[in-house]
Structure 1
Amino acid sequence: MRFTDKVAFITGGASGLGLAVAQLLAEEGAKVVLADIAEDAARKAAADLPDALAVGTDTSSSASVEAAVAAAVAHYGRIDVVFNNAGIAGKQQPLHEMDDANWNLVSGINGDGVFWTLKHTIAAMLKTGGGAIVNTASTAGLGGQINISPYTFTKGGVVALTRSAAIEYAAHNIRVNAVAPTTVKTPLVEKFIETAPDPVAMKARMEAMNPKPGMPEARDVATVVAFLASDDAAWVTGHTIPVDGGYLAV
Protein backbone atom coordinates (compact mmCIF):
# COMPACT_ATOMS: atom_id res chain seq x y z
CA MET A 1 0.00 0.00 0.00
CA ARG A 2 2.60 2.53 -1.16
CA PHE A 3 0.07 5.25 -1.94
CA THR A 4 -2.18 5.30 1.11
CA ASP A 5 -3.56 8.81 1.67
CA LYS A 6 -1.84 10.11 -1.48
CA VAL A 7 -3.63 11.87 -4.33
CA ALA A 8 -2.71 10.93 -7.91
CA PHE A 9 -3.51 13.21 -10.85
CA ILE A 10 -3.57 11.28 -14.14
CA THR A 11 -4.02 12.82 -17.59
CA GLY A 12 -5.47 10.54 -20.24
CA GLY A 13 -6.81 8.55 -17.32
CA ALA A 14 -9.98 7.21 -18.93
CA SER A 15 -8.31 4.43 -20.93
CA GLY A 16 -5.07 2.70 -21.89
CA LEU A 17 -1.94 3.40 -19.83
CA GLY A 18 -3.67 6.12 -17.81
CA LEU A 19 -6.46 3.83 -16.66
CA ALA A 20 -4.04 0.97 -15.92
CA VAL A 21 -1.98 3.28 -13.71
CA ALA A 22 -5.12 4.64 -12.03
CA GLN A 23 -6.28 1.12 -11.20
CA LEU A 24 -2.89 0.07 -9.81
CA LEU A 25 -2.41 3.18 -7.68
CA ALA A 26 -5.97 2.84 -6.37
CA GLU A 27 -5.25 -0.76 -5.41
CA GLU A 28 -2.34 0.57 -3.37
CA GLY A 29 -4.43 3.14 -1.54
CA ALA A 30 -4.38 6.27 -3.71
CA LYS A 31 -7.19 8.70 -4.27
CA VAL A 32 -7.23 9.21 -8.05
CA VAL A 33 -8.11 12.13 -10.31
CA LEU A 34 -8.85 11.08 -13.89
CA ALA A 35 -8.27 14.10 -16.14
CA ASP A 36 -9.36 13.29 -19.67
CA ILE A 37 -10.91 15.04 -22.64
CA ALA A 38 -13.35 12.08 -22.80
CA GLU A 39 -15.20 13.19 -19.69
CA ASP A 40 -17.97 10.58 -19.87
CA ALA A 41 -15.44 7.77 -20.14
CA ALA A 42 -13.48 9.25 -17.25
CA ARG A 43 -16.61 9.36 -15.09
CA LYS A 44 -17.39 5.74 -15.92
CA ALA A 45 -13.84 4.69 -15.05
CA ALA A 46 -13.89 6.72 -11.83
CA ALA A 47 -17.09 4.99 -10.73
CA ASP A 48 -15.23 1.66 -10.75
CA LEU A 49 -12.46 2.92 -8.43
CA PRO A 50 -12.66 3.14 -4.62
CA ASP A 51 -12.08 6.91 -4.37
CA ALA A 52 -11.79 8.83 -7.63
CA LEU A 53 -12.73 12.10 -9.30
CA ALA A 54 -13.25 12.61 -13.06
CA VAL A 55 -12.44 16.00 -14.57
CA GLY A 56 -12.93 16.89 -18.24
CA THR A 57 -9.56 18.21 -19.41
CA ASP A 58 -8.08 19.31 -22.72
CA THR A 59 -4.35 19.10 -22.04
CA SER A 60 -3.53 21.23 -25.09
CA SER A 61 -5.11 24.16 -23.20
CA SER A 62 -3.22 25.70 -20.29
CA ALA A 63 -6.47 27.08 -18.86
CA SER A 64 -8.15 23.66 -19.00
CA VAL A 65 -5.26 21.96 -17.20
CA GLU A 66 -5.12 24.73 -14.61
CA ALA A 67 -8.84 24.30 -13.95
CA ALA A 68 -8.48 20.52 -13.64
CA VAL A 69 -5.64 20.89 -11.13
CA ALA A 70 -7.70 23.41 -9.17
CA ALA A 71 -10.64 20.97 -9.12
CA ALA A 72 -8.38 18.18 -7.85
CA VAL A 73 -6.97 20.36 -5.08
CA ALA A 74 -10.42 21.65 -4.13
CA HIS A 75 -11.71 18.08 -3.86
CA TYR A 76 -8.76 16.33 -2.20
CA GLY A 77 -6.66 19.17 -0.81
CA ARG A 78 -3.40 18.28 -2.55
CA ILE A 79 -1.64 16.43 -5.37
CA ASP A 80 1.16 13.99 -4.48
CA VAL A 81 1.60 11.97 -7.68
CA VAL A 82 1.22 12.93 -11.33
CA PHE A 83 1.11 10.61 -14.31
CA ASN A 84 1.53 13.05 -17.19
CA ASN A 85 0.27 10.72 -19.85
CA ALA A 86 -2.28 12.20 -22.28
CA GLY A 87 -1.15 11.82 -25.87
CA ILE A 88 -2.04 10.85 -29.42
CA ALA A 89 -0.16 9.19 -32.28
CA GLY A 90 -1.52 11.35 -35.11
CA LYS A 91 -1.50 10.52 -38.80
CA GLN A 92 1.14 8.36 -40.43
CA GLN A 93 2.71 10.42 -43.20
CA PRO A 94 6.21 10.96 -44.61
CA LEU A 95 7.79 14.07 -43.14
CA HIS A 96 7.70 16.04 -46.40
CA GLU A 97 3.99 15.28 -46.80
CA MET A 98 3.01 15.97 -43.19
CA ASP A 99 0.02 18.30 -43.09
CA ASP A 100 0.19 21.33 -40.83
CA ALA A 101 -2.97 20.48 -38.93
CA ASN A 102 -1.65 17.08 -37.90
CA TRP A 103 1.67 18.57 -36.78
CA ASN A 104 -0.12 21.20 -34.68
CA LEU A 105 -2.55 18.69 -33.17
CA VAL A 106 0.13 16.22 -32.06
CA SER A 107 2.44 18.99 -30.86
CA GLY A 108 -0.36 20.62 -28.91
CA ILE A 109 -1.28 17.50 -26.97
CA ASN A 110 2.00 15.57 -26.71
CA GLY A 111 4.27 18.58 -26.32
CA ASP A 112 2.39 21.59 -24.97
CA GLY A 113 0.10 19.35 -22.92
CA VAL A 114 3.00 17.77 -21.05
CA PHE A 115 4.40 21.23 -20.31
CA TRP A 116 1.06 22.64 -19.09
CA THR A 117 0.54 19.63 -16.83
CA LEU A 118 4.02 20.01 -15.37
CA LYS A 119 3.54 23.73 -14.86
CA HIS A 120 0.24 23.56 -13.03
CA THR A 121 0.82 20.40 -10.98
CA ILE A 122 4.27 21.54 -9.85
CA ALA A 123 2.72 24.83 -8.71
CA ALA A 124 0.29 22.82 -6.58
CA MET A 125 3.00 20.51 -5.23
CA LEU A 126 5.18 23.42 -4.14
CA LYS A 127 2.42 24.43 -1.73
CA THR A 128 2.19 21.01 -0.06
CA GLY A 129 5.78 19.78 0.24
CA GLY A 130 6.52 18.08 -3.07
CA GLY A 131 5.68 14.84 -4.82
CA ALA A 132 6.54 12.61 -7.76
CA ILE A 133 5.81 13.08 -11.46
CA VAL A 134 6.07 10.46 -14.21
CA ASN A 135 5.83 11.62 -17.83
CA THR A 136 4.97 9.31 -20.71
CA ALA A 137 7.71 9.41 -23.32
CA SER A 138 8.26 6.61 -25.85
CA THR A 139 10.92 4.51 -27.50
CA ALA A 140 10.14 6.79 -30.46
CA GLY A 141 11.63 9.63 -28.43
CA LEU A 142 14.85 7.73 -27.83
CA GLY A 143 15.26 6.21 -31.29
CA GLY A 144 13.85 7.14 -34.69
CA GLN A 145 10.67 5.82 -36.28
CA ILE A 146 9.33 6.50 -39.73
CA ASN A 147 6.19 8.41 -40.78
CA ILE A 148 5.38 9.84 -37.32
CA SER A 149 7.72 12.84 -37.17
CA PRO A 150 5.53 15.02 -34.89
CA TYR A 151 5.19 12.11 -32.47
CA THR A 152 8.92 11.40 -32.35
CA PHE A 153 9.63 15.13 -32.03
CA THR A 154 7.31 15.56 -29.06
CA LYS A 155 8.39 12.39 -27.29
CA GLY A 156 12.04 13.39 -27.63
CA GLY A 157 11.01 16.70 -26.10
CA VAL A 158 9.38 14.90 -23.17
CA VAL A 159 12.69 13.18 -22.44
CA ALA A 160 14.55 16.50 -22.41
CA LEU A 161 11.85 18.29 -20.42
CA THR A 162 11.91 15.50 -17.84
CA ARG A 163 15.62 16.11 -17.25
CA SER A 164 15.34 19.87 -16.94
CA ALA A 165 12.30 19.77 -14.64
CA ALA A 166 13.99 17.18 -12.41
CA ILE A 167 17.03 19.39 -11.96
CA GLU A 168 14.97 22.53 -11.44
CA TYR A 169 12.79 21.07 -8.67
CA ALA A 170 15.02 18.48 -6.97
CA ALA A 171 15.66 20.82 -4.04
CA HIS A 172 11.90 21.24 -3.61
CA ASN A 173 11.28 17.51 -3.01
CA ILE A 174 9.71 17.03 -6.45
CA ARG A 175 11.00 14.11 -8.49
CA VAL A 176 10.39 13.98 -12.25
CA ASN A 177 10.96 10.84 -14.32
CA ALA A 178 9.55 9.33 -17.49
CA VAL A 179 8.72 5.94 -18.94
CA ALA A 180 9.45 5.13 -22.57
CA PRO A 181 7.26 2.21 -23.58
CA THR A 182 7.51 0.26 -26.78
CA THR A 183 4.16 -0.32 -28.50
CA VAL A 184 1.67 -1.42 -25.87
CA LYS A 185 -1.70 -3.13 -26.21
CA THR A 186 -3.88 -0.03 -25.76
CA PRO A 187 -6.72 1.63 -27.73
CA LEU A 188 -4.17 4.18 -29.02
CA VAL A 189 -1.99 1.48 -30.54
CA GLU A 190 -4.99 -0.41 -31.91
CA LYS A 191 -6.09 2.76 -33.73
CA PHE A 192 -2.54 3.32 -34.96
CA ILE A 193 -2.53 -0.18 -36.48
CA GLU A 194 -5.97 0.24 -38.02
CA THR A 195 -5.02 3.51 -39.74
CA ALA A 196 -1.72 2.25 -41.15
CA PRO A 197 -1.48 1.85 -44.95
CA ASP A 198 -1.15 -1.92 -44.38
CA PRO A 199 -2.66 -2.80 -40.96
CA VAL A 200 -1.72 -6.49 -41.14
CA ALA A 201 1.91 -5.70 -41.92
CA MET A 202 1.99 -3.00 -39.23
CA LYS A 203 0.70 -5.37 -36.55
CA ALA A 204 3.22 -8.02 -37.55
CA ARG A 205 6.05 -5.46 -37.47
CA MET A 206 5.04 -4.23 -34.02
CA GLU A 207 4.85 -7.72 -32.60
CA ALA A 208 8.28 -8.59 -34.01
CA MET A 209 10.14 -5.35 -33.23
CA ASN A 210 11.24 -6.24 -29.70
CA PRO A 211 13.70 -9.00 -28.75
CA LYS A 212 11.09 -10.11 -26.21
CA PRO A 213 8.27 -11.48 -28.38
CA GLY A 214 4.85 -9.85 -28.53
CA MET A 215 3.68 -6.58 -26.99
CA PRO A 216 3.39 -5.60 -23.33
CA GLU A 217 0.07 -5.04 -21.64
CA ALA A 218 -0.76 -1.66 -20.11
CA ARG A 219 -0.33 -3.19 -16.66
CA ASP A 220 3.31 -4.00 -17.48
CA VAL A 221 4.00 -0.29 -17.94
CA ALA A 222 1.85 0.68 -14.95
CA THR A 223 4.05 -1.28 -12.55
CA VAL A 224 7.09 0.74 -13.65
CA VAL A 225 5.15 4.01 -13.30
CA ALA A 226 4.08 2.99 -9.80
CA PHE A 227 7.69 2.27 -8.81
CA LEU A 228 8.89 5.65 -10.07
CA ALA A 229 6.01 7.42 -8.32
CA SER A 230 6.60 5.64 -5.01
CA ASP A 231 9.07 6.21 -2.19
CA ASP A 232 10.88 3.08 -3.42
CA ALA A 233 12.38 5.40 -6.06
CA ALA A 234 13.22 8.21 -3.63
CA TRP A 235 16.65 8.78 -5.22
CA VAL A 236 15.57 8.36 -8.83
CA THR A 237 14.91 11.60 -10.71
CA GLY A 238 15.60 12.97 -14.18
CA HIS A 239 15.59 9.57 -15.88
CA THR A 240 13.61 7.99 -18.69
CA ILE A 241 13.08 4.28 -18.15
CA PRO A 242 12.44 2.18 -21.28
CA VAL A 243 9.76 -0.50 -20.99
CA ASP A 244 10.65 -2.06 -24.30
CA GLY A 245 11.50 -5.75 -24.13
CA GLY A 246 15.05 -4.94 -25.22
CA TYR A 247 14.12 -2.83 -28.27
CA LEU A 248 16.62 -0.06 -27.56
CA ALA A 249 19.39 -2.51 -26.68
CA VAL A 250 19.59 -3.84 -30.26
Structure 2
Amino acid sequence: MARVFITGSTDGLGLAAARTLIEDGHDVVLHARSEARAAHLGDIRRRASGIAIGDLSSAEETLSVAEQVDDIGRMDAVIHNAGIGYREPRRIATVDGHAHLLAINVLAPYLLTCRMRRPDRLVYLSSGMHRGGDSSLTDLDWTARPWNGTQAYSDSKLLDAALALAVARLWPDVRSNAVEPGWVATKMGGSSAPDDLAQGHVTQAWLAAGDDPAAQVTGEYLYHRQPRRILPIARDTAFQDALLEELRRLTGVSLPRVTQPA
Protein backbone atom coordinates (compact mmCIF):
# COMPACT_ATOMS: atom_id res chain seq x y z
CA MET A 1 0.00 0.00 0.00
CA ALA A 2 1.37 3.40 -1.02
CA ARG A 3 0.66 6.88 0.29
CA VAL A 4 0.21 9.20 -2.69
CA PHE A 5 -0.31 12.96 -2.88
CA ILE A 6 -2.02 14.30 -6.02
CA THR A 7 -2.15 17.99 -6.86
CA GLY A 8 -5.26 19.31 -8.57
CA SER A 9 -7.36 16.34 -7.47
CA THR A 10 -10.82 17.94 -7.25
CA ASP A 11 -11.70 17.12 -10.86
CA GLY A 12 -10.42 15.76 -14.16
CA LEU A 13 -7.44 13.45 -14.34
CA GLY A 14 -6.34 14.17 -10.78
CA LEU A 15 -9.67 13.09 -9.33
CA ALA A 16 -9.74 10.02 -11.60
CA ALA A 17 -6.27 9.00 -10.43
CA ALA A 18 -7.32 9.50 -6.81
CA ARG A 19 -10.38 7.30 -7.23
CA THR A 20 -8.37 4.55 -8.92
CA LEU A 21 -5.67 4.54 -6.25
CA ILE A 22 -8.17 4.56 -3.38
CA GLU A 23 -10.13 1.72 -4.96
CA ASP A 24 -6.87 -0.23 -5.25
CA GLY A 25 -6.31 0.14 -1.51
CA HIS A 26 -3.78 2.97 -1.42
CA ASP A 27 -3.77 5.99 0.89
CA VAL A 28 -4.37 9.17 -1.08
CA VAL A 29 -3.87 12.75 0.05
CA LEU A 30 -5.93 15.14 -2.04
CA HIS A 31 -5.33 18.76 -2.99
CA ALA A 32 -7.85 21.53 -3.61
CA ARG A 33 -7.31 25.14 -4.57
CA SER A 34 -9.75 26.33 -1.89
CA GLU A 35 -12.13 25.09 0.78
CA ALA A 36 -14.98 25.85 -1.61
CA ARG A 37 -13.46 23.47 -4.18
CA ALA A 38 -12.84 20.86 -1.51
CA ALA A 39 -16.48 21.02 -0.41
CA HIS A 40 -17.56 19.47 -3.72
CA LEU A 41 -15.45 16.33 -3.30
CA GLY A 42 -18.09 14.41 -1.39
CA ASP A 43 -17.36 10.74 -0.69
CA ILE A 44 -13.85 10.80 -2.12
CA ARG A 45 -12.77 13.28 0.59
CA ARG A 46 -14.10 10.98 3.29
CA ARG A 47 -12.19 8.05 1.80
CA ALA A 48 -8.93 9.98 1.43
CA SER A 49 -6.20 10.12 4.06
CA GLY A 50 -6.20 13.90 4.09
CA ILE A 51 -6.39 17.02 1.99
CA ALA A 52 -4.13 20.02 1.47
CA ILE A 53 -5.67 23.38 0.61
CA GLY A 54 -3.87 26.07 -1.35
CA ASP A 55 -3.81 27.99 -4.61
CA LEU A 56 -0.75 26.85 -6.55
CA SER A 57 -0.58 30.15 -8.43
CA SER A 58 0.70 31.66 -5.17
CA ALA A 59 4.20 30.76 -3.99
CA GLU A 60 3.15 31.34 -0.37
CA GLU A 61 0.17 29.02 -0.65
CA THR A 62 2.20 26.43 -2.56
CA LEU A 63 4.76 26.33 0.25
CA SER A 64 1.86 26.00 2.70
CA VAL A 65 0.63 22.99 0.73
CA ALA A 66 4.07 21.41 1.07
CA GLU A 67 3.93 21.94 4.84
CA GLN A 68 0.40 20.58 5.11
CA VAL A 69 1.35 17.40 3.27
CA ASP A 70 4.53 16.91 5.28
CA ASP A 71 2.47 17.29 8.47
CA ILE A 72 0.38 14.32 7.33
CA GLY A 73 3.55 12.30 6.78
CA ARG A 74 6.10 11.36 4.17
CA MET A 75 4.54 10.46 0.84
CA ASP A 76 5.61 7.37 -1.09
CA ALA A 77 4.70 9.14 -4.32
CA VAL A 78 3.62 12.54 -5.59
CA ILE A 79 1.68 13.10 -8.80
CA HIS A 80 2.13 16.68 -10.03
CA ASN A 81 -1.18 16.79 -11.87
CA ALA A 82 -2.40 20.38 -11.38
CA GLY A 83 -2.22 22.60 -14.41
CA ILE A 84 -4.07 25.12 -16.53
CA GLY A 85 -4.28 25.30 -20.30
CA TYR A 86 -4.13 28.05 -22.86
CA ARG A 87 -7.95 28.17 -23.13
CA GLU A 88 -8.47 29.06 -19.47
CA PRO A 89 -9.26 32.67 -18.50
CA ARG A 90 -6.66 32.93 -15.70
CA ARG A 91 -3.77 32.18 -18.02
CA ILE A 92 -2.13 35.61 -18.12
CA ALA A 93 -3.16 37.30 -14.84
CA THR A 94 -0.30 37.41 -12.38
CA VAL A 95 0.21 36.41 -8.77
CA ASP A 96 3.52 37.09 -7.01
CA GLY A 97 4.60 38.73 -10.27
CA HIS A 98 4.33 35.48 -12.23
CA ALA A 99 1.84 34.51 -14.92
CA HIS A 100 -0.72 31.99 -13.64
CA LEU A 101 0.17 29.49 -16.34
CA LEU A 102 3.87 29.48 -15.46
CA ALA A 103 3.19 29.56 -11.71
CA ILE A 104 0.77 26.62 -11.69
CA ASN A 105 2.26 24.48 -14.46
CA VAL A 106 5.96 24.88 -13.63
CA LEU A 107 6.82 26.87 -10.51
CA ALA A 108 4.40 24.97 -8.25
CA PRO A 109 5.70 21.48 -9.05
CA TYR A 110 9.23 22.80 -8.72
CA LEU A 111 8.54 24.37 -5.30
CA LEU A 112 6.73 21.29 -4.03
CA THR A 113 9.60 19.09 -5.22
CA CYS A 114 12.09 21.30 -3.42
CA ARG A 115 10.22 21.69 -0.16
CA MET A 116 8.34 18.43 0.47
CA ARG A 117 10.06 15.47 2.07
CA ARG A 118 11.51 13.44 -0.76
CA PRO A 119 9.20 10.59 -1.85
CA ASP A 120 10.19 7.36 -3.56
CA ARG A 121 8.40 8.29 -6.77
CA LEU A 122 7.58 11.50 -8.61
CA VAL A 123 5.28 11.87 -11.59
CA TYR A 124 5.02 15.10 -13.59
CA LEU A 125 2.28 15.65 -16.15
CA SER A 126 3.57 16.90 -19.47
CA SER A 127 1.84 16.95 -22.86
CA GLY A 128 2.45 16.04 -26.47
CA MET A 129 2.44 19.80 -27.04
CA HIS A 130 5.83 19.98 -25.31
CA ARG A 131 7.36 19.16 -28.70
CA GLY A 132 6.48 22.69 -29.78
CA GLY A 133 8.08 24.21 -26.69
CA ASP A 134 10.72 26.93 -26.77
CA SER A 135 13.92 25.94 -24.96
CA SER A 136 15.43 29.43 -24.79
CA LEU A 137 14.31 29.97 -21.13
CA THR A 138 13.85 33.66 -21.87
CA ASP A 139 10.85 35.70 -20.72
CA LEU A 140 9.07 32.74 -19.13
CA ASP A 141 6.50 35.16 -17.66
CA TRP A 142 5.68 36.66 -21.08
CA THR A 143 6.27 40.20 -19.90
CA ALA A 144 8.34 41.22 -22.94
CA ARG A 145 6.36 39.38 -25.62
CA PRO A 146 2.75 39.49 -26.84
CA TRP A 147 0.82 36.69 -25.13
CA ASN A 148 0.59 33.45 -27.10
CA GLY A 149 -1.36 30.92 -25.04
CA THR A 150 -0.56 27.91 -27.19
CA GLN A 151 3.16 28.63 -27.11
CA ALA A 152 3.16 29.39 -23.37
CA TYR A 153 1.43 26.11 -22.64
CA SER A 154 3.80 24.16 -24.91
CA ASP A 155 6.77 25.82 -23.20
CA SER A 156 5.46 24.92 -19.75
CA LYS A 157 5.04 21.27 -20.66
CA LEU A 158 8.56 21.10 -22.08
CA LEU A 159 9.83 22.51 -18.78
CA ASP A 160 7.80 19.95 -16.82
CA ALA A 161 9.31 17.10 -18.83
CA ALA A 162 12.83 18.46 -18.39
CA LEU A 163 12.25 18.96 -14.65
CA ALA A 164 11.15 15.34 -14.26
CA LEU A 165 14.28 14.10 -16.03
CA ALA A 166 16.56 16.48 -14.14
CA VAL A 167 15.22 15.19 -10.83
CA ALA A 168 15.72 11.60 -12.01
CA ARG A 169 19.36 12.43 -12.76
CA LEU A 170 20.10 14.38 -9.59
CA TRP A 171 18.10 12.20 -7.18
CA PRO A 172 19.06 8.62 -8.10
CA ASP A 173 17.17 7.29 -5.07
CA VAL A 174 13.88 8.61 -6.52
CA ARG A 175 12.00 7.30 -9.55
CA SER A 176 11.01 10.44 -11.44
CA ASN A 177 9.12 10.34 -14.73
CA ALA A 178 7.00 12.51 -17.03
CA VAL A 179 3.66 11.43 -18.46
CA GLU A 180 1.78 12.43 -21.58
CA PRO A 181 -1.86 11.69 -20.68
CA GLY A 182 -3.16 12.36 -24.17
CA TRP A 183 -5.57 14.99 -25.42
CA VAL A 184 -8.61 14.03 -23.38
CA ALA A 185 -11.99 15.62 -22.71
CA THR A 186 -11.29 17.35 -19.41
CA LYS A 187 -11.94 21.00 -18.54
CA MET A 188 -8.48 21.74 -19.89
CA GLY A 189 -8.67 19.51 -22.96
CA GLY A 190 -12.13 20.58 -24.09
CA SER A 191 -15.14 18.50 -25.09
CA SER A 192 -13.85 17.69 -28.58
CA ALA A 193 -10.59 16.06 -27.42
CA PRO A 194 -10.09 12.79 -29.34
CA ASP A 195 -8.10 10.59 -26.92
CA ASP A 196 -9.54 8.01 -24.51
CA LEU A 197 -10.51 9.78 -21.27
CA ALA A 198 -10.60 6.46 -19.41
CA GLN A 199 -6.88 6.01 -20.12
CA GLY A 200 -5.84 9.57 -19.30
CA HIS A 201 -5.06 8.94 -15.62
CA VAL A 202 -3.91 5.33 -15.74
CA THR A 203 -0.19 5.78 -16.40
CA GLN A 204 0.40 8.28 -13.62
CA ALA A 205 -1.45 6.14 -11.06
CA TRP A 206 0.52 3.09 -12.22
CA LEU A 207 3.86 4.90 -11.96
CA ALA A 208 2.94 6.17 -8.49
CA ALA A 209 1.96 2.84 -6.97
CA GLY A 210 2.45 0.01 -9.47
CA ASP A 211 4.56 -2.92 -8.25
CA ASP A 212 5.30 -4.60 -11.57
CA PRO A 213 8.83 -4.19 -12.98
CA ALA A 214 7.67 -1.99 -15.87
CA ALA A 215 6.55 0.67 -13.37
CA GLN A 216 9.96 0.80 -11.65
CA VAL A 217 11.53 3.07 -14.27
CA THR A 218 13.05 6.51 -13.85
CA GLY A 219 13.98 9.31 -16.22
CA GLU A 220 11.35 8.26 -18.76
CA TYR A 221 8.61 9.99 -20.73
CA LEU A 222 5.58 7.72 -21.04
CA TYR A 223 2.21 7.56 -22.76
CA HIS A 224 -0.25 4.79 -21.88
CA ARG A 225 2.46 2.94 -19.91
CA GLN A 226 4.86 2.91 -22.85
CA PRO A 227 7.94 5.07 -23.52
CA ARG A 228 7.26 7.80 -26.05
CA ARG A 229 9.46 10.15 -28.04
CA ILE A 230 10.42 13.24 -26.11
CA LEU A 231 11.92 16.42 -27.50
CA PRO A 232 15.68 15.71 -27.22
CA ILE A 233 16.46 19.01 -25.48
CA ALA A 234 14.55 17.77 -22.42
CA ARG A 235 17.26 15.14 -21.92
CA ASP A 236 20.12 17.60 -22.37
CA THR A 237 21.84 17.99 -19.00
CA ALA A 238 23.05 21.52 -19.75
CA PHE A 239 19.47 22.56 -20.51
CA GLN A 240 18.22 20.85 -17.34
CA ASP A 241 20.83 22.66 -15.25
CA ALA A 242 19.98 25.99 -16.87
CA LEU A 243 16.30 25.38 -16.18
CA LEU A 244 16.94 24.60 -12.51
CA GLU A 245 18.99 27.78 -12.19
CA GLU A 246 16.23 29.85 -13.79
CA LEU A 247 13.61 28.30 -11.50
CA ARG A 248 15.86 29.04 -8.53
CA ARG A 249 16.16 32.65 -9.69
CA LEU A 250 12.40 33.04 -10.14
CA THR A 251 11.43 31.42 -6.83
CA GLY A 252 14.43 31.99 -4.57
CA VAL A 253 14.35 28.26 -3.73
CA SER A 254 17.01 25.73 -4.73
CA LEU A 255 16.52 22.05 -5.45
CA PRO A 256 18.08 20.21 -2.50
CA ARG A 257 21.01 17.89 -3.11
CA VAL A 258 20.36 14.18 -2.74
CA THR A 259 22.70 14.01 0.25
CA GLN A 260 20.10 15.82 2.34
CA PRO A 261 17.90 13.42 4.37
CA ALA A 262 14.46 12.55 3.02
**Do the aligned partners of 2:30 and 2:48 also contact (CA within 8 Å) in 1?**
no
Is the aligned partner of 1:45 residue 2:41? Answer: yes
1:64 maps to which of 61, 75, 99: 61
Partner of 1:198: none
Call closer, same or farther: CA 1:248–1:165 in 2, change over 3 Å: closer
Call closer, same or farther: CA 1:142–1:241 in 2, change over 3 Å: farther
**Do the aligned partners of 2:182 and 2:200 also contact (CA within 8 Å) in 1?**
no
Q: Per residue, is there more helix in 1 or in 2?
A: 1
Indicate the SS of the match to 1:188. coil
Deviations 1:14-72 (A, max 9, x none): 00011011111111122211112143333432632523322212223333223223222
Partner of 2:223: 242
Give runs of aligned pairs for residues 128-207 of structure 1, distance below 5 A: 130-143=119-132, 148-170=150-172, 172=173, 174-190=174-190, 203=192, 207=193
- 1: CA distance, partners of 2:152 / 2:12: 21
Unaligned runs of 5+ in 1: 93-97, 194-202, 208-213
2:100 maps to which of 85, 102, 105: 105
Indicate the SS of the match to 1:32. strand
- 2: CA distance, partners of 1:25 / 1:89: 25
Give the TM-score normalised by structure 1: 0.72
- 1: CA distance, partners of 2:225 / 2:122: 20
Indicate the SS of the match to 1:18. helix
Identity over aligned residues, as a percent? 27
Query: Post-superposition shift, 1:242?
Result: 2.6
Indicate the SS of the match to 2:75. coil
Call closer, same or farther: CA 1:244–1:187 in 2, change over 3 Å: farther
Call closer, same or farther: CA 1:65–1:223 in 2, change over 3 Å: same
- 1: CA distance, partners of 2:70 / 2:215: 24
**Do the aligned partners of 1:139 and 1:244 also contact (CA within 8 Å) in 2?**
no
Unaligned runs of 5+ in 2: 135-147, 231-262
